[in-house]
Amino acid sequence: MAEIVMPRLSDSMEEGTIVRWLKRDGDEVARGEDLVEIETDKATMTYESDTAGTLQITAQEGATLPVGEKIAMIGDGDGQPLADAAPAAPVAELEAPEPATSADARPAATEPAVGERVKASPVARRIAGEIGLDLHSVSGSGPGGRIVKADVEDASAAAPASASASSARGDEASGRGTITTTEPTRTQALIARRMAQSRATVPSFTLQISVDMTTATTLRDELKGSASEGQAVPTINDMVVKASALALREQPQANGAWRDGHFEHYSRVNIGVAVAGPGTLVVPTVFDADAKTLAEISAETGALAERVRSGTITPPQTSGGTFTVSNLGMFGVRSFDAVINTPQAAILAVGAVEQRPAVHEGEIEPRMLMELTLACDHRILYGADGAKLLSRIKALLEAPLSLAS
């Protein structure tokens, strides 16, 4: 019998959670057929069977296992399926919407009996598991009464805090009042481990530079004024992404990594853009950003950010980055040091665009200034290398028409 193991679905994946089996224990499975939904540190995606035969499930829904751990067996049908394997509901039961009989008709949202499998989307299941919410107590508003993300969020807002998600204890002696302890989600725990690893193992240094964004902001205002309704207008961050990509193309040493004692150099310039999601931080990737127009980058970053916020981002969309841009300017932060997204060579921290007095053509006048901070892995980039990269990004942003091509 062939062994099915927890697959590695992203560069940073260390473990995965089985969200839903798409086939029942004992079912015949065809090669290439959707087999199981797996949640990684970044997204939930479907894994296809790479062999054909009779399925024997060895890991149940909700189980979290490391990459490479056995989750099922597929053979010729001679083996006996596990007696305690929980069968999954058919895809049609969970996914197919029921036809409406009129414009006002809606599928009835009924609460399932205790012990009955709850019809819920993978995102709804994940959020419910993180906050300790029993899906049996939630009414679904989706097709066929399926519980969706909004239903879980509404139920969570209306319900008291779950004892399984957090615990509280008194601490009168210290004067800190009641202390509430909350367990991190698996994604939060992984981010904590990776950031601690980066700080502990990467000999980094930072460089900072001020960029005059007056021309760039004027250009953006003009683009916004001439845009048709619904048309995406490039943001300042989109300009930074494009400028970074062009600078990296000119300085390929920075478009690399330090891995296992060796330098890695990448032929493609793929810019990761840090996006804050619900209780987490995700870095989707704009592939070949140096070859894309500013308008294409704008449309892509907007779509990726929406997928992060809706919980529908997939591992392929968060893998393959060669450089990262992190922007906190929208919160009024002038400058900050970002943690390198290992094994990448550097990360660019983008601050707020502010009107401040500056010397321009020999005169002091108000200008729109922005601070950029580049954190570099000293094993890959030396001071002069980082300064050259940062200066080139500044030059491109101060001549924004160079970003139009």
Q: For position 301, which CATH number holds?
A: 3.30.559.10
Is 121 found in the same domain as 74?
Answer: no
Is 133 found in the same domain as 278?
Answer: no
Assess if residue 178 is contained within a domain.
no
Is 264 found in the same domain as 390?
Answer: yes
Q: Which domain holds residue 97?
A: 92-158
Instruction: Give the angle subtended at the CA of 118 by the CAs of 117 and 120, to the nearest 5°.
Output: 135
Asked about 360 being catalytic, the answer comes back as no
**Each residue's pLDDT tens digit in the chain (405 positions)?**
788 999 887 766 778 889 899 999 999 999 888 899 888 766 778 888 888 899 999 999 988 888 889 999 998 744 443 333 333 333 333 333 333 333 333 353 344 444 456 777 766 776 777 667 888 888 888 767 778 777 887 776 665 444 445 666 666 666 778 888 888 877 788 788 888 889 999 999 999 999 999 999 999 999 888 888 878 889 999 999 999 999 999 999 999 998 888 999 999 999 999 998 877 889 999 999 999 999 999 999 999 999 988 888 888 888 899 999 999 999 999 999 999 998 899 999 999 999 999 999 999 999 999 999 999 999 999 999 999 999 999 999 999 999 986
Is 256 found in the same domain as 375?
Answer: yes
Assess if residue 83 is contained within a domain.
yes
Q: Which residues contact 352 (CB under 8 A, 6 or more apart)?
A: 328, 329, 330, 331, 332, 333, 334, 370
Instruction: Give a three-class secondary structure readout of 8-68.
Output: CCCCCCCEEEEEEECCCCCCEECCCCEEEEEECCCCEEEEECCCCEEEEECCCCCCEEECC
To the nearest 10 degrees (0 to 180), the angle between helices 236-250 and 383-398 is 130
Assess if residue 239 is contained within a domain.
yes
What residues form DSSP beta bridges with 304? none
**Tokens of residue 366, six digits:** 């108000």
**Cα 289 from Cα 296, distance rounded (Å):** 9
**Tokens of residue 51, six digits:** 């062999």
Assess if residue 164 is contained within a domain.
no
pTM above 0.85, yes or no: no
Is 112 found in the same domain as 65?
Answer: no
Helical ranges in 205-271 per DSSP H: 214-226, 236-250
Is 293 found in the same domain as 341?
Answer: yes
Assess if residue 173 is contained within a domain.
no
Number of domains in the chain: 3
To the nearest 10 degrees (0 to 180), the angle between helices 214-226 and 236-250 is 120
**Cα 252 from Cα 266, distance rounded (Å):** 8
CATH number at residue 99: 4.10.320.10
Is 379 found in the same domain as 230?
Answer: yes
Q: Out of 136, 262, 360, 378, which one is annotated catalytic?
A: 378
Assess if residue 227 is contained within a domain.
yes
Is 100 found in the same domain as 52?
Answer: no
Is 345 found in the same domain as 225?
Answer: yes
Assess if residue 209 is contained within a domain.
yes
Is 224 found in the same domain as 309?
Answer: yes
Assess if residue 382 is contained within a domain.
yes
Is 27 found in the same domain as 98?
Answer: no
Q: Which residues contact 122 (CB under 8 A, 6 or more apart)?
A: 19, 20, 37, 39, 44
Is 339 found in the same domain as 195?
Answer: yes
